[in-house]
Structure 1
Amino acid sequence: MFRLKVNKSHFAAAAAATRHATTTTTHGTHYQYLQNSKLPTLYFQRSLPRLPIPLLEKTCERFLASVQPILTPDEHRETQQVVEEFRQGIGMELHAKLKQRDAANKHTSYISQPWFDMYLSDRAPLPLNYNPLLVMRGDPRPEYQPQVTRATNLIISSLRFWRSLQANNLEPEVYHMNPKKTDTDNYRRWMAVAPKAFATYASYAFKAFPLDMSQYSRLFGTSRIPKLGKDELVQSPESKHILVMRRGNMYAMNVLDTSGYIESPSVILGRLKSILETDSQREPAKVPLGVLTTSQRDEWAQTREHLVSNPKNADLLQREVDAALFCLCLDSEEDGLFNEADPVPMLKHQLAGKATNRWFDKSISLLISADGVTALNFEHSWGDGVAVLRYFNEIYRDMLKQPFVSEATPHTPAHGDGMNVRPLNFEIDDRTKAAVEAAYAKNATIVDSLDMNYLQYRQLNKGTCKQHGLSPDSIIQLSFQLAYRQAFDRYVGTYESCSTSAFRHGRTETMRPCTMATKDFCEAVLQPAQKQLSAGELRAMIDRCSRVHGQLTKEAAMGQGFDRHLFALRHTAQLEGLPQPVLFETEAYKRINYNIISTSTLGTDTVVAGSFGPVVKDGFGVGYSIQNDFAGAIVTSYKNQAEGKKFIESLESAFDQICAIIERSSRAVKLERRN
């Protein structure tokens, strides 16, 4: 999961396409825009179906099925009674009110505003609790890997993506069931003549599924502003600068000219180099304000209110920091270098770290270590993985295809250009200094308590899954259940996120991978040798687990889960000033929502590692993926709260057992066919 080196031969053709600033017409369409789509970016947005509200009866059934593996039989019987009373009583009333509210807001989804409110009202610090980390695959060509070179190309590709989005020229986000047949010019020609009001349904006929793109507008120029009780998001889409941080010092750097065009590569390179030169002559920030963004949100809100009581600080914060298109964090050698043999220190640093060189409130922050290793840390309230991953993939592939600067590219000197490169010098008083020191100490304590373990397992990969007809995701999730059961002798609430972006303003739905099917399999595997089922019988149980998991995935993606519906019903009770229904006080509801195992994956070859913090103090945050040559998992936990090392060792054992079952079953089938 951490392979940052790539075989150069894979990219020989891409390397040949390299273009430098000297041959670039900077105001030309080819430089200014990443894409020039035949279909406008928001072509399908109007015709996207609305996120359905599931039937109350189905939600109750799904809830009962999901809690069964983590309850005793007596607890489950008691829960059944409470659920039935809810279904026939207050649940019906709340469901009717939710439907009524949804009918009055047809421009959006029933979950969108409550979900925003949930994120923005939580007072927990952003690092570890919300902001995830994605680590980008390295560039196979050494001349493009140095920090300032990589940063320049990242900036340019990001701006090309952003300008394409603003101009409505970015390809609409479409999930193609068979890309070879539908991700074609012919498909786009047919779509172009479809009426906008029905375009999504016309696309369905091609088995191509347009996705919601409402979140994309918040990718750039967006900041989360701390407020007492509930934060707010501010947007500045007309900004022409980015925020650059180095050793805690902050700079505003113009990247667009006065007409809104992307500056030339040599100019952007020169401005970045001038920041590095200037910073090398300064001390690291004595009061690194970025640390404040790690604070508990009400504490940060109070500190910020005091900070902006100074007019100069208010202007710098609002005009230069909040309004920046994105944040670029250039780490120094003192922050550490990536070590493939032991990636944990760098991953912890990028996920949360000392935070002296971070501004976690920005929608996206690009983190670049001194050796060019690149990661993305993003604020989560405004959007989910679909939009972020699209951006991540596009800029990586753009840099491979046509990097605009290399290590040898000449730059336009910008030293002393105070108009376009502006050091941000805040006026710091004793109260702000004390707040930074307190925030630094608190964050350091939390980060020091974070444990991180990882596993690369080469016997299980995309190839073996395909060879044996297995669903990669269901196998990984089954392995998590077996690992936890054999390590800790119980079953717990497990969270797997599923996107509902096939619907207008869809967000996510929760998958519950701990099922009766996975429980039955785990119990069968852990039986004494004399009671063990045959490999064929165990393989049949694996297939059953896969079918159940596949059905849950399908239901969740189609807006037919139960978590978001119950969340919305609970939220409706609060809005209506009604007492909280008994269902939400049950042990079953509390236990299923106490996510000991919280999991997430992003299936793409541009991400070499992904990580996030545990969602409960005694739980695990599990970022995982199945690559072409291995299955990988990064597990975070808090020391003395959960045993991450024990879980990861048990996970390796679970992989061993499942792979052995699959191999034995396969050999038995082959032998039977021969006979």
Structure 2
Amino acid sequence: MLSVSKILKSNNSTFKNVQELRNLATKSKKIRDIAYQYMQRSKLPTMHFQKSLPRLPVPQLNDTRDRYLNALRPLLTSDQYAEAIKRTDNFVTKEGAELQSKLIAKDKANKHTSYISDYWFNLYLRDRVSLPINYNPILVFQNDTKPEYNDQLVRTANLLVSAVRFMLSLRDQILEPEVFHMQPKKSNTPLFRTITGLLPESLSWYGAYLFKAFPLDMSQFGGLFNATRIPMLNKDKIFSDHSCNHVVVQRNGNFYIFDVLDSDGNLLLPSEILANLSKILNDNTPKAEYPLGVLTTQNRDQWAKQRIHLEEIGNHDVLRKIDTAIFNLVLDDTIIENNKHKILSEFLHSDGTNRWFDKSFSLIVTKDGVAGVNFEHSWGDGVAVLRFFQDIYAETITKPFVSPDLKPSSNNVTVQKLQFNLDDKSKSFINKARKEYNDWCNSLSIDYILFEGLTKGACKKFKVSPDCIMQLGFQAAYHLINSKFVGTYESCSTSAFKHGRTETMRPCTDKTKAFCEKLHSNNPSKQELRAIMQECSSGHSELVKQASLGQGFDRHMFALMKIAEDNNMPRPEIYDSYEYKYLNKSILSTSTLSAPSVLAGGFGPVVKEGFGIGYSAFPDKLGAAVTSYKAHNSSTQFVEALHKSFVDIAHILSG
């Protein structure tokens, strides 16, 4: 049987465009239903805009100086701030100027990428801390609106079919390009696709810009599939092999694989996918006595040494099957029963015995059909994962391929249970890792808030940014508990640029400080608070805009520090200063991934004294998942303070 993929690729030099290739493929009677193979069949090739994407700008050094000092001011005493100004100005006029010149020269010599891309990959891959909690974030799907489709087998089969259809569309470059439409009614149209499609790739971005549409970088999307992060001493590596057609499935700590594509690269029929999953769910193999996946919860150097040992005793080939799988599919026996705390702990960390945190992402489905994604962060950011997440969710609830009454087929059932060779030494690794991970997870405090007194629409009605209101709530909650202000991190995407990653937006400003102090003073004026809140919102929106346009200061300062290292120059004093360290100790680490498909999202604290806050402004409420370490903070106490802050803010707005 010929595959659509092979026909498209083999005829690429003969036919003028993808549409002609599709027409040829459709005429071939040997190909399975082409409409089934692909989630999308875009008229615009997936990477049509990639060549013409603008490059991430290197900020002006003086602009970075000003933005850095503005972020420091609300955190420091007047004496500390005066010292910071002197130190910063000394840096800008001396080594900073030389480093800036070298950074610009390096950027000009590497026009295929961004100035931050390699440094950011290395930052992740060199860090030796464990992946779960520290780095791997989670996204949890809303439940299916049809209860019978939340059956574990049915939901898993539908998510798997849609995930592979997404992958095949991406592989064959017919997945709809990722574009941010400022005016969707004018730009998200057939006319937009026709005009930009007629333009050569080197000019296509400019055509989109005329429609007030902004194509986004899609270079990370390939990292979603057939990839894993392999532990290595000192620095990990990302390994991928896109020739493999199997998924790896974990259940009860055991590993299974089966092909989801046939030998010609065609997606198996829904009944065949169902049959393979049924075989795994009906397998009565007991829980693994030595669940190998728990080793991925450890310090990276420790895990690297253990993996070397595992390969030396005959596990190289079986580990490679996990590494090369399209993705990791996790079938858990946990029952959630709408317990939000259980959702967060299950998807963020679990007990580690039925996980493989190194895979690019793991699609997790519980016994009662709650589903979500836990993803490794070094290969990419939330933009690629959220697009994948939204697309497969939308398809599974609007046009699922597997119904509750579909019968499994006996064809193409290729399930294999992976067998590992474990000696006493490797068993001791697993036992030790289980205990340490259990102790670590027990040290974590997790709570959440769903506040219905404010909504996304209400914030807009009062002409304040919903994101600002949530960030203002976080500042007020922390100030209420601790009477001070700390380094706060809000992640902002720079995917509007070629190989853009993220920039830090600093939501703790002079205005948010003034608001919190006034709010917690005696007899605060509601009118005055509302005026300050409006200023907070305007300033917040401007900072978000600057960050998304590559005009923050954090990535720039980080790159200048790396340039000094690259050139064996002395480390500038500014990077070891009190103020720089205080600012970059992210006590409040925050990120939002708002979408109708998202039930919950979250991540762990990035420092032991801090909070990890994943949040969303929903149409009917504000929501946040909060994590911290019990020895230092209580997430429940923070959530209680946050609730009070939201009540106060709602009261001020309504007045």
Instruction: Answer whether TM exceeds 0.5 for this pair.
Output: yes
Counterpart in the other structure of 1:257: 262
CA distance in 2, matches of 1:551, 1:569: 24
Query: Residue type matched to 1:224 in 2?
Result: R
> Which of 58, 66, 69 lines up with 1:61 in the alignment?
66
Counterpart in the other structure of 2:532: 541
Matching of residues 204-243 of structure 1 within 5 Å: 204-243=209-248
Q: Secondary structure at the match of 2:222?
A: helix
Deviation digits for residues 48-67 of structure 1, max 9, x if unmatched? 01100000111011000001
Counterpart in the other structure of 1:673: none
Contact 1:454–1:633 at 8 Å: present in 2 too?
Answer: yes
CA distance in 1, matches of 2:427, 2:183: 57
Aligned-residue offset at 1:414: 6.6
CA distance in 1, matches of 2:654, 2:250: 51
Aligned-residue offset at 1:337: 1.3
Q: Secondary structure at the match of 1:91?
A: helix
Query: Residue type matched to 2:323 in 1?
Result: D
Contact 2:252–2:332 at 8 Å: present in 1 too?
Answer: yes
Contact 1:461–1:630 at 8 Å: present in 2 too?
Answer: yes
Aligned-residue offset at 1:382: 0.2
Contact 2:362–2:373 at 8 Å: present in 1 too?
Answer: yes
Aligned-residue offset at 1:486: 1.2
Deviation digits for residues 298-329 of structure 1, max 9, x if unmatched? 00000000000133x101111x1000000000
> Is 1:410 aligned to residue 407 of structure 2?
yes
> Is 1:168 aligned to residue 159 of structure 2?
no
Deviation digits for residues 366-396 of structure 1, max 9, x if unmatched? 0000001001000000000100000000000
Counterpart in the other structure of 2:644: 653
Q: Secondary structure at the match of 2:500?
A: coil
User: TM-score when scaled to structure 1?
Assistant: 0.92
Deviation digits for residues 410-445 of structure 1, max 9, x if unmatched? 111379x5xx21110111001110111111111111
CA distance in 1, matches of 2:117, 2:47: 19
Counterpart in the other structure of 1:618: 609
Q: Secondary structure at the match of 2:312?
A: coil
Counterpart in the other structure of 1:482: 476
CA distance in 2, matches of 1:470, 1:608: 24
Query: Residue type matched to 2:584 in 1?
Result: N
Q: Secondary structure at the match of 1:346?
A: helix
**More divergent stretch after superposition (642-651 vs 211-220):** 642-651
Q: Sequence identity of aligned pairs in percent? A: 47
Contact 1:271–1:414 at 8 Å: present in 2 too?
Answer: no
Aligned-residue offset at 1:463: 2.3
CA distance in 1, matches of 2:331, 2:185: 40
Contact 2:141–2:598 at 8 Å: present in 1 too?
Answer: yes
> Is 1:303 aligned to residue 297 of structure 2?
no
Aligned-residue offset at 1:26: 8.1
> Which of 616, 619, 631 lines up with 1:640 in the alignment?
631
Contact 1:111–1:568 at 8 Å: present in 2 too?
Answer: yes
Deviation digits for residues 112-162 of structure 1, max 9, x if unmatched? 000000000000000000000111011111231111111111111001000
> Which of 564, 571, 575 lines up with 2:555 in the alignment?
564
CA distance in 1, matches of 2:433, 2:105: 44
> Which of 314, 317, 320 lines up with 2:316 in the alignment?
314
Query: Residue type matched to 2:547 in 1?
Result: A
Contact 2:337–2:368 at 8 Å: present in 1 too?
Answer: no
Matching of residues 280-295 of structure 1 within 5 Å: 280=284, 282-295=285-298
Counterpart in the other structure of 2:329: 328
Deviation digits for residues 182-229 of structure 1, max 9, x if unmatched? 111111111112232111111111110000000001100010000000
CA distance in 2, matches of 1:245, 1:413: 22
CA distance in 1, matches of 2:495, 2:122: 19
Counterpart in the other structure of 2:499: 505
CA distance in 2, matches of 1:303, 1:326: 23
Q: Secondary structure at the match of 1:426?
A: coil
Q: Secondary structure at the match of 2:247?
A: strand
CA distance in 1, matches of 2:255, 2:641: 44
Aligned-residue offset at 1:401: 2.1
Contact 2:613–2:627 at 8 Å: present in 1 too?
Answer: yes
Deviation digits for residues 562-604 of structure 1, max 9, x if unmatched? 0000010111111111121000011110011000000011120
> Is 1:608 aligned to residue 599 of structure 2?
yes
Unaligned 5+ residue runs, structure 1?
Answer: 1-24, 665-675
Contact 1:222–1:323 at 8 Å: present in 2 too?
Answer: yes
Counterpart in the other structure of 1:271: 276
Contact 1:26–1:32 at 8 Å: present in 2 too?
Answer: no
CA distance in 1, matches of 2:564, 2:425: 41
Counterpart in the other structure of 1:351: 348
Contact 1:26–1:262 at 8 Å: present in 2 too?
Answer: no
CA distance in 1, matches of 2:520, 2:281: 58
CA distance in 1, matches of 2:181, 2:342: 38
Query: Residue type matched to 1:331 in 2?
Result: D
> Is 1:33 aligned to residue 38 of structure 2?
yes
Contact 1:26–1:264 at 8 Å: present in 2 too?
Answer: no
Deviation digits for residues 591-619 of structure 1, max 9, x if unmatched? 11000000011120100100100000011
Deviation digits for residues 253-295 of structure 1, max 9, x if unmatched? 11000001101111110011111222x2x11111100000001
> Which of 583, 595, 608 lines up with 2:586 in the alignment?
595
Aligned-residue offset at 1:105: 0.8
CA distance in 2, matches of 1:464, 1:160: 38
Query: Residue type matched to 1:328 in 2?
Result: L
Query: Residue type matched to 2:347 in 1?
Result: Q
Aligned length: 626
CA distance in 2, matches of 1:55, 1:442: 46
CA distance in 2, matches of 1:633, 1:276: 34
Aligned CA-pair RMSD: 1.2
Matching of residues 303-452 of structure 1 within 5 Å: 303-311=306-314, 313-318=315-320, 320-332=321-333, 336-340=334-338, 342-413=339-410, 420-452=414-446
